[in-house]
């Protein structure tokens, strides 16, 4: 059974810092992995989708890396802004299943 | 519509009542997922549809939960004889293809059972 852990659970940083959010998963037989952002009271927005054959995926100030064999993914946020404040969740899609399994997320607060 | 639409946005039910939650996915999306999210937790998988076929219902917590997508578009999640532990946000997501593609989520239905 796939289990997903995200560290840290919460993070508060001043504006402008570069951040690293960590995601680990127990079953490395994944098809891909998505990183999502969730604002309070809202649904989730997909930020990056990284295929199992890829090592990295970039979108603007966001960069996601994937080390499938070790069951780890990292979301790097460059030059953080107050608008980046949200909960960030990772979700691997396990091969042979029909589901994304989510971690509990990292609650990020960027202070102006 | 431009995105995934869920209704109602909020639902208050008395314990023992039946409720029905609706999801309108993005037009043409083959895959549809239901998730349950408790406060401060990540979404928990409930069920998955590929067009009208329910291919995975392993996450439904009890036989009081039932989901359908009869014409391969709109989906309804029904909860019978609601209990307090059913209180949560119910999220619907859709994706264009059949396997592991970008998910688009609705804003969710917040269910409170009193």
pLDDT number for residue B2: 81
By a Cβ cutoff of 8 Å, what residues of chain A touch chain B?
4, 31-32, 34, 36, 41-46, 49, 89, 91, 93, 97-105
The model's confidence at residue B99, banded by pLDDT at 50, 70 and 90, is confident
Q: Which of B43, B59, B95, B105 to mutate to test the interface with A (most CBs of A within 10 A)?
A: B43
DSSP B11-27: EEE-TT--EEEEEE--T
Residue B62: which residues within 8 A CB-CB, separation 6 or more? Answer: none
pLDDT number for residue B15: 97
Asked which of A93-97, B41-45, B110-114 is least confident by mean pLDDT, the reply is A93-97
Report d(CA B36, CA B18) in Å as an integer: 17
Torsion angle, CA of A80/A84/A85/A87, rounded to 10 degrees?
Answer: -110
Report d(CA A56, CA A73) in Å as an integer: 9
Secondary structure class of A76 (helix, strand, coil): strand
Kind of pairing between the strands at A62-67 and A56-59: antiparallel
Secondary structure class of B109 (helix, strand, coil): strand
pLDDT in tens, A7-34: 999 999 999 999 999 999 999 999 999 9
- Cβ–Cβ under 8 Å, residues A108 and A51: no
Residue B14 has pLDDT above 60, yes or no: yes
pLDDT number for residue A41: 85
Residue A95 or A65, more confident: A65
Q: Which chain A residue lies closest to B92 (C-alpha atoms)?
A: A43
Which of A44, A49, A98 is closest, CB to CB, to B48? A98
The model's confidence at residue A96, banded by pLDDT at 50, 70 and 90, is confident
pLDDT in tens, A29-70: 999 999 999 998 888 999 999 999 999 999 999 999 999 999
Q: Which chain B residue lies closest to A41 (C-alpha atoms)?
A: B107
pLDDT above 70 covers what percent of chain B? Answer: 99
Residue B50 has pLDDT above 80, yes or no: yes
Report d(CA B42, CA A36) in Å as an integer: 11
Kind of pairing between the strands at B109-113 and B10-13: parallel
The model's confidence at residue B1, banded by pLDDT at 50, 70 and 90, is low
- Cβ–Cβ under 8 Å, residues A45 and A36: yes
């Amino acid at each position: 059974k796939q289990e997903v852990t995200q560290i840290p659970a919460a993070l508060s940083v001043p504006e402008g810092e570069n951040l690293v959010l960590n995601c680990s998963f127990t079953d490395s037989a994944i098809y891909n992995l998505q990183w999502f952002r969730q604002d309070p009271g809202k649904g989730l927005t997909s930020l990056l989708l990284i295929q199992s054959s890829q090592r990295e995926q970039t979108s603007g100030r966001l960069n996601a890396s994937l080390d499938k064999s070790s069951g780890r993914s990292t979301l790097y946020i460059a030059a953080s802004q107050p608008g980046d404040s949200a909960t960030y969740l990772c979700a691997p899609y396990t091969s042979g299943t029909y589901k994304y399994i989510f971690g509990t997320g990292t609650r990020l607060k960027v202070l102006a | 519509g431009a995105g995934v639409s869920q209704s109602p946005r909020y639902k208050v039910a008395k314990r023992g009542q039946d409720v029905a939650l609706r999801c309108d996915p993005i037009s043409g999306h083959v895959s549809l997922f239901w998730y349950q999210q408790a406060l401060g937790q990540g979404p928990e998988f409930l069920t998955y549809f590929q067009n009208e076929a329910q291919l995975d219902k392993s996450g439904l917590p009890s036989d009081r939960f039932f989901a359908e997508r009869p014409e391969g578009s709109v989906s309804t999640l029904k909860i019978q004889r609601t209990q307090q532990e059913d209180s949560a946000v119910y999220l619907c997501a859709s994706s264009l293809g059949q396997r592991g593609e970008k998910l688009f989520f609705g804003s969710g239905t917040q269910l409170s059972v009193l």
